[in-house]
Amino acid sequence: MDAKTAHLLNEATGDFYRRQAASFSATRRSAWPGWERLLAGPAGAVLDSPSALRVLDVGCGNLRFERFLLECAPAADWRFYGVDSCPLLVGDAPAPIEYHEADIVGALLDGGIERELDVPACDLVGCFGFMHHVPGWDNRVRLLRVLAGCVAPGGFLALSFWQFLNSSELADRAAASHARGLAVLAPRGLAAGQLERGDYLLGWQETQDVFRYCHAFDAAEIDALAAEAGLSARIVDRFEADGRTGDLNGYLVIGG
């Protein structure tokens, strides 16, 4: 995928969230079962820390991961750092969070991602529901490496990778939406030949003119990404969860 296509897809995704923030957030309130499974595994050790717990949430959305952690350990001394490009999704942030508005993908493409993630090393770095918005294999590998560098010694990097093609219903809807998305974005310069295997343009409800870029992962690709980023030896947990089928997200947990 060339840089022009990656930027165009990122711009389309940003426009999608700016225009659909309220309705999208309204459907994203519950905690994910995968988060409970995450804390039941090695990453749950962070809850035993007697000192302040620093958490970096990359692509924090409406902060439901932060609310989940606060409910799990209300007495913990949390320090949350949330980064995202859509303040309309954030709304009223929980008290212990520092929110930083940043175009994460744009910074990644332009070489300034480290500056946007300039926070103290964290006990837990989370990136949930975001990796599928990162266009291009090389860019996803680069982001994995950067995120791993944000983890404090003894901490964890936890990521989810959307596997929506595991659902035949979602796969059918994605194919239909993608065809419409190509028709809408082609006049803006999107060349279908620049897209990679697993790339889709997904719409929202009955809206006809806004689409977000989403990449469909599978287990083999997740393993390959970790290997290319040099992180395979640091994997401490790997599982699938979420959705009706219990496998719509593949999770990867990397030790610091």
In the chain the domains, ranked by start, together with CATH numbers, are 3-165+213-255 (3.40.50.150)
Q: What are phi and psi of 20, to 5 degrees?
A: -115, 15
Please say whether the beta carbons of 57 and 82 come within 8 A. yes
Which is more confidently placed, 243 or 89?
A: 243
H-run or E-run covering 182: helix 168-185
Distance between CA atoms of residues 146 and 214, nearest Å: 21
Please say whether the beta carbons of 231 and 237 come within 8 A. no
The average confidence (pLDDT) of the chain is 92
pLDDT number for residue 14: 92
Provide the residue type at 76 as one letter.
A
pLDDT number for residue 96: 83
Q: What are 14-64's pLDDT values in tens digits?
A: 988 888 755 665 555 579 999 999 999 999 999 988 889 999 999 998 899
pLDDT for 209 beyond 80: yes
pLDDT for 88 beyond 90: no
pLDDT number for residue 20: 74
Closest CA to 256 of 54, 34, 32, 31: 54
Q: What are 144-197's pLDDT values in tens digits?
A: 999 999 999 999 999 999 999 999 999 999 999 999 999 999 999 999 999 999
pLDDT number for residue 211: 95
Neighbouring C-beta atoms of residue 137, cutoff 10 Å: 17
Within the chain, strands assigned E span 53-58, 78-84, 97-101, 122-127, 151-162, 199-204, 207-215, 235-241, 249-255
pLDDT number for residue 17: 85
pLDDT for 92 beyond 80: no
pLDDT for 73 beyond 70: yes
Q: At 184, list the tokens.
A: 């809408």
Q: Name the pTM for this structure.
A: 0.94
pLDDT number for residue 6: 97
pLDDT number for residue 21: 58
Q: What are 3-15's pLDDT values in tens digits?
A: 999 999 999 999 8
With a pLDDT cut of 90, the percent of the chain lying above it is: 80
